Structure 1
Amino acid sequence: MPPEKKPISHEWQAFWLAIGFLTRIPMLVRIDYSQKLMNQCSMYFPLVGLLLGALYAGLFALLNLAWSPLICVLLVLCFHLFITGAFHEDGLADSVDALGGGYTVEKRLEIMKDSRIGTYGTVALVMALGLKAALLVDTQSIWLALLVTPAISRLAPLLLMILLPYVTDPDKSKSKPVAEGFSRKRLLVSCLFTALVALIFSLWLPGLWLAALTAIITIVLLWGGYLQRQLGGYTGDALGASVVFCELVLLLGI
């Protein structure tokens, strides 16, 4: 392969690796997997979120031809849980179980690695999904909220990765590859992309840019600060929870 094509091929693989990491969508290209590539794929999380949002918005528009907005939103949420493997929701449940039931950092990390779900996690999942459905139904443009929310919310974990240390066992954690060596230059690209999404769609949803900025800052400061106090840093599950929290705060804003 000519040298000048290598960077493009590398980024193309990183993009598809991000899709494979965040969703159940099959990767349609050959991936020369490496930890470096996994680190770099994080830059594409907001873009993957926008692609997911396009699927959600399109599905909602199709379903809305036959059913009420509430039924359509619930069906879209079911599709979301399927296509993502409930990836971020699993992180939310594990994080809340750990932070609610552990009294030491070691115990919290131990609970977080347990695949079983407890009372705290169950309540958090029910409330988060219920609130998300209610907020979506209450927005003035449901399809637009479904489109932009996944993209904007996936910037929050990238900021947390830069600002906080990684505290769980890296040899046993799924998030190790994306937690180490994430470039600030690539973070800047993600921030600019997310800002562009918020500004463009503010033309149809006034105030979106302000709601997006508020949601991201709120989650990074409050959730990030809480993680720093309770764990001394972040874990992969905590990053997943940050996406769910950011979505809810963003929907509250719009």
Structure 2
Amino acid sequence: MIAAAPAALLLLLSLTRLPDMVIAAAAIALLATVTGAFHEDGLGDIADGFGGGATQLRKLEIMKDSRIGAFAAVAIGLALALRIGLLAAIVAMDPWSAVTAFLAAAAVSRTLPLWIWTLLPAARVDGLAASLGAPGRVSTALASLAAIVVACMVLPYFGVGQLMAALGVAALATLMLGRIARRQIGGQTGDVLGAAQQVAEIGFFAGLLL
């Protein structure tokens, strides 16, 4: 699991006197390094495209541009601040609760975008998501069930209500992003899926703290 090493780092640093914010930032930074910041890049691309393009075609063109614009910088910065701040709040509660929340969020936030991939049409025929082909609804449902099972690891530290809230907020955030993508560019792309992971992770952390 790609979140295993960052979770181990989080637990190790929690044994030191480093501030909770620094511990959370280190874990998030290592996770971004492990994934190649793929999801952060997707968030930045759709922020630039949706914010700077006047037409659907222009939005898609901007999203393919590797340069980071003002909208991307703000979106990525805000997402990082939210992820680090929320995780730090959980670290302050208990290091082990933070480890389980981190692993659960990683599983859930990487599964929810599959529903966007499955249910929305590809916005461009030559995109990565289109070339790979959307997963079937049955496989997506099974992956979601597996993610929920993984998410249950937080139950020793959070109540059932908090877990349900986390899953609900993460799902709602993903749904909202999917609706925005459909309205803006007519469907989904790899960038949209990456951005969905980011908002789902933020939603999961926030839901646990409600």
Q: Does 1:93 align with 2:49?
A: no
Q: In 2, Cα distance between the equivalents of 1:221 and 1:76?
A: 27
1:193 equivalent in structure 2? 146
Shift of 1:146: 1.5
1:103 equivalent in structure 2? 54
Question: In the TM superposition, what whole-angstrom CA distance separates every residue of 1:135-180 from its partner, at most 9, and x where no partner exists?
Answer: 111123322221211101111210001110001242xx333343x1
**1:193 corresponds to which letter in structure 2?**
A
Match of 1:142 among 80, 94, 98: 98
Match of 1:218 among 169, 172, 196: 172
Match of 2:27 among 72, 76, 83: 76
Shift of 1:115: 0.5
Q: Does 1:203 align with 2:146?
A: no
Shift of 1:217: 2.7
Shift of 1:204: 2.7
Q: Does 1:56 align with 2:9?
A: no
**1:78 corresponds to which letter in structure 2?**
A
Task: Identify which range, 106-115 or 223-232, moves more after superposition.
Answer: 223-232
Q: Does 1:125 align with 2:81?
A: no
Shift of 1:56: 1.9
Q: 1:104 to 1:194 in 2, by over 3 A?
A: same
**1:204 corresponds to which letter in structure 2?**
Y
Q: Structure 2: which 5+ runs fail to align?
A: none
Shift of 1:221: 2.5
Structure 2 length-normalised TM: 0.89
Shift of 1:181: 4.2
Q: In 2, Cα distance between the equivalents of 1:124 and 1:137?
A: 20
Q: Percent identity?
A: 35
Moved >4 Å (runs of 4+)? none
Q: In 1, Cα distance between the equivalents of 2:43 and 2:59?
A: 14
- Asked if structure 2 preserves the Cα contact closer than 8 Å seen for 1:102 and 1:108, the reply is yes
**Is the partner of 1:138 in helix, strand or coil?**
helix
Q: 1:169 to 1:177 in 2, by over 3 A?
A: closer
Match of 1:159 among 104, 115, 118: 115
Q: Does 1:242 align with 2:196?
A: yes
**Is the partner of 1:167 in helix, strand or coil?**
coil
Q: 1:86 to 1:181 in 2, by over 3 A?
A: closer
